Every structure is written in C-alpha cells, then in structure tokens.
Amino acid sequence: MSRVLVVDDDKACARTLELHLRAQGHDPVVAYDADAGLMLARVEPPELVILDIRMEGRSGLDALPDFRALQPAPEVVMITAFHDMASTIAAMQKGAADYIHKPIDVDELDAALERLLGVERPDQLLPVRDVPGGPLQMVARSRAMKEVFKTIGLVARSNATVLITGESGTGKELVAHAIHNASEQANGPFVVVNCAAVVESLLESDMFGHEKGAFTGAVGAQPGKFALAQGGTIFLDEIGEMSATMQAKLLRAVQYKEFSPLGSAATSHTDARIIAATNLDLASQVADGRFREDLYYRLQVVNLNLPPLRDRIEDLEDLVHALLVRINKEMQGGITHVDQAVLDCFAEYTWPGNVRELENLLMRAVATATGNVLAMDALPADMKRAVLPPDAPATDSFGLGSLADAERLHVQRVLQATGWHRGEACAILGISRPRLRRIMREHRLISPGSSED
C-alpha cells in the first residue's frame, strides 16, 4: 500500500481522486492548498504526490521544488485543467514525473502510478527553462503530443544532436525552436538552413562560408551558417534532400563540430547544437543507398517523431482557437466564433497537409470573412466533398426507403435503446461523436428535453 498525497483546491476533484486511490489499494491523504500539503508531507512523507498546477494562493508549479526537496523525495504527478506547452515544460524542468490533464482519465492515472510506484526512478530529471509565450500551434490534449513536450523538456539541457521526423506540416521547425528556447543556448542565435531550397553549388558556402576569391563572384569573405550559429542552434531543415557530396561534407561538422570555409585550409570549430529535420523515412533512404548510414546515426542521437494531425484529433479544437487568436491579430481579423459544424467537419477530415494546412485554411477564412463566425461556407469545396455524405437518393419505384431513411431509423433506434446516451450509441454504431452529432443534425434527431449526455 502506497501513501499518495493529493493536493488540489477543487474539493470535488480531490475527493474523487481520494476514493479512486483507496479503491485501487493506495493510502490517500488530501490537502486543499500547497502549504497544507507540504505540512502533511513533512509529518508523514508520501511516496507520490498528485499536485494541481493552478490553485488559490501558492501554485503547484511554485511548490513543486519544495515537494521534490523532501527526503525521501516523492514522485510528483502534476494535474491541470489547462493545456499549454509552457507549463508542461516548466513542470518537467522542476522535477515532475508526469503531467495529466483534467478531467482525469483514471486509466492514464493508474498507468502513471503503476509505472512510478513500481520502479525506481532518479530523483532528478533534466531541467528545462520555461518557454515564454510558446508557439501557439504547440498546444496539446493528445497523449502523443504530451510525450513530445515531455521529451523536449528532457533533452533540452544537453547538447545532443536531435533528428525531428514527421510528415510535412507537422511543426518540425516549431519543435526545433522549442528545444532551442528551453536549452542552455536559448540566448544564442537560432539559424536555419533549408537544405532543399539552396542549390547544391551554393549550399556548401551557405553552411560553411567562403574566403575572398573562393569562386567567381566571391568578392569578400563571408561567414557561413555554422559560424553564425556559434553559441546557439543550427537547424538543418529537409536534411533528406541533401546530395551525397554535401552529406560527406556535413558528416565532419556533425561528428567533430569542425569545418573549413570554401577557399580556406584553416579549420573552424563550432559549439552550435545541431537539430535536423526531414519528412522522409531516412532509414529507407539509407537502405536504398540515398543517404549516408554514418551521417544518419550521427544525426539521430535523439529522434523525435511528430504525429500527423489526423492522429491527434483531440488537439484540433485547441489548435483552431489558438491559431485564430494569432491570425486575427496579425491580419486585423474579426472572427470571434466558430460553428460547431466546422469543428465536426475538421474532426472527420484527414488533413494531408497537417497543421500547416489548417493554418492556411484559417488564414484564408479570416481574409475572406464577411462576418464574425467561422461557418461551413468558409471551408473549401474539396474538403466538404471529402467529409460530408452525398445527397440521399430518392425513394425507388419499389417503394423502398432510401439509405438516408435507413440511417435515420437505425440511429434513432440505437439512441432510444441507450436512453439517448451518445457515448453508448457511438460505441454500438462504431462511429465518432462528431459524426453522430452530424447525423443527428441532418436528420433532426433531438433527444427528449434536448439535454446533453
């Protein structure tokens, strides 16, 4: 039986956690503010603390180092009703072992407790500095993105080379910026090299610089991106597009942190952290002989794979609101509301262009808006064709009902059988909640009293 301290000023949430923990065989104790929790912990040290981030008086984030300083140091799981990257990184920096959002998924909580109480873990996790005003696109409710944020927090302190992979538009440069901003190099430059945008004949000079007279037109010495990134981070975007010749030249810079400008026999050194990114499968590129194996392994000391937007649909609503706030400000837009039908449509769409496609769509919507609501008429026709069902066929000559009629009757019967409980209905029908809402809206299926489940 493990002693678990719950610290949360939401008494209903704290009580629910207490009952669940006791049912799972733990020995829970509850405090409603950080200082009271610390007093209890000093009297009888817990093995684990469940700590709310935002509370009246002293915040959980502020009290976290004090809980971690207890002897023996308890594991700390942060809980919060808010979803932002900055607090996740700050919590990991200060020693949190995990980070769970409200409303709390008890399966996720139980898995965290089993992991933390069942194995020994080091008292110190790698610290990371907060990211003030972190990128608005980097919000997350999905477990996959929470893991990305945690990894950023854990790798930022070291100077290890990082390879960021993921489909085009998933936010690889944003993640590179986040690692830089949370690292010891945060005050240094963040220098970008787009390996696909610079022609090969100029890429070597762009990366390593050149001396006067190194080639026709070189009228003076010019430092390259590696030199400009001294004391900071160099981000090698679209690294998979680099030619074999340039891969060989880059290997030396990655392996030994040294390079020679074009036209110079002197060796220059760099302390810049190297972060590379690609939307290609570099392992396949290596197998096919299109990418150097030795460079591949030098680049992926830490591999951070970003999920496509279709695999993190839980983040969509937050992303839409965060992006609209930023786009409205940048474009002097006036969209203040989003139609639920738009969010339902977004949830059904596959997003081949990922977050970049969503951002571009919202920019177009703001630019062409005639009112203050983001409605279905703002969406491109190809998106609606891909998501919305075609018009139902008319009743045939045999007097049989249409497919739409059959759908309406079946969904209505399932809803009635479940007492209009949408969650149970979705499970029986094998569809998502957004799709069920759309079907109900199309067929005007209204629950008795129009109450939500």
- Report whether the peptide linkage leading into residue 65 is cis, meaning its omega lies within 30 degrees of zero: no
Which residue's structure tokens are 């997350």? 140
Task: Note every long-range contact of 433-442, with CB atoms under 8 Å and residues 24 or more positions apart, other chains counting.
Answer: 434/343, 434/344, 434/347, 434/348, 435/344, 435/348, 436/411, 437/340, 437/344, 438/341, 438/344, 438/348, 438/388, 439/407, 439/408, 439/411, 440/411, 440/415, 441/341, 442/404
* Buried-state track 409-432, b at ≥16 Cβ within 10 A, e below 16: eebeebbeebebebeebbeebeee
At the top level of CATH, the class of 158-305 is: alpha beta
Tokens for 35, please give them.
């200082």
Residue 12's CB: how many other CB atoms inside 10 A? 8
What is the edge-to-edge ordering of all strands in the sheet holding 48-52? Answer: 27-31, 3-7, 48-52, 75-80, 98-101
Q: What is the pLDDT of residue 168?
A: 94
Q: What is the pLDDT of residue 370?
A: 59
Alpha carbons 43 and 50: distance in angstroms, whole number: 17
Question: Are the CB atoms for 177 and 190 separated by under 8 Å?
Answer: yes
Averages of pLDDT over runs of 10 residues in the chain (453 residues) are 91 93 91 95 94 91 93 90 81 86 86 69 28 49 87 90 96 94 93 88 86 74 90 96 91 91 85 96 95 95 94 87 87 85 88 95 86 78 74 46 78 79 81 80 69 41
Domain covering 310-387: architecture: Orthogonal Bundle (1.10)
Question: Are the CB atoms for 411 and 437 separated by under 8 Å?
Answer: no
Q: What is the pLDDT of residue 274?
A: 96
Distances in Å between the alpha carbon of 37 and those of 91, 99, 329?
A: 18, 18, 42
Backbone angles phi, psi at 91, to 5 degrees: -65, -45
Strand-strand pairing, 27-31 and 3-7: parallel
Alpha carbons 282 and 286: distance in angstroms, whole number: 6
Q: Give me the half-sphere count of Cα atoms (radius 13 Å) on the Cβ side of residue 27.
A: 7
Question: Are the CB atoms for 50 and 6 separated by under 8 Å?
Answer: yes
Alpha carbons 47 and 57: distance in angstroms, whole number: 25
Which is nearest to 187 in space by CA: 155, 154, 153, 232? 232
Which is nearest to 51 in space by CA: 86, 72, 35, 129? 35
Tokens for 130, please give them.
């907060």
Superfamily of domain 3-135: Response regulator (3.40.50.2300)
3-state SS, the chain, equals: CCEEEEECCCHHHHHHHHHHHHHCCCEEEEECCHHHHHHHHHHCCCCEEEEECCCCCCCHHHHHHHHHCCCCCCEEEEEECCCCHHHHHHHHHCCCCEEEECCCCHHHHHHHHHHHHHCCCCCCCCCCCCCCCCCCCCCCCCHHHHHHHHHHHHHCCCCCCEEEECCCCCCHHHHHHHHHHCCCCCCCCEEEEECCCCCHHHHHHHHHEECCCCCCCCCCCEECHHHHCCCCEEEEECHHHCCHHHHHHHHHHHHHCEECCECCCCCEECCCEEEEEECCCHHHHHHCCCCCHHHHHHHCCEEEECCCHHHCHHHHHHHHHHHHHHHHHHHCCCCCEECHHHHHHHHHCCCCCHHHHHHHHHHHHHHHCCCCEECHHHCCHHHHHHHCCCCCCCCCCCCCCCHHHHHHHHHHHHHHHCCCCHHHHHHHHCCCHHHHHHHHHHHCCCCHHHCCC
Which is nearest to 205 in space by CA: 269, 295, 180, 216? 216
Measured at the CA of 307, the angle between CA 302 and CA 308, to 5 degrees, comes to 140
Which residue's structure tokens are 């006036």? 334
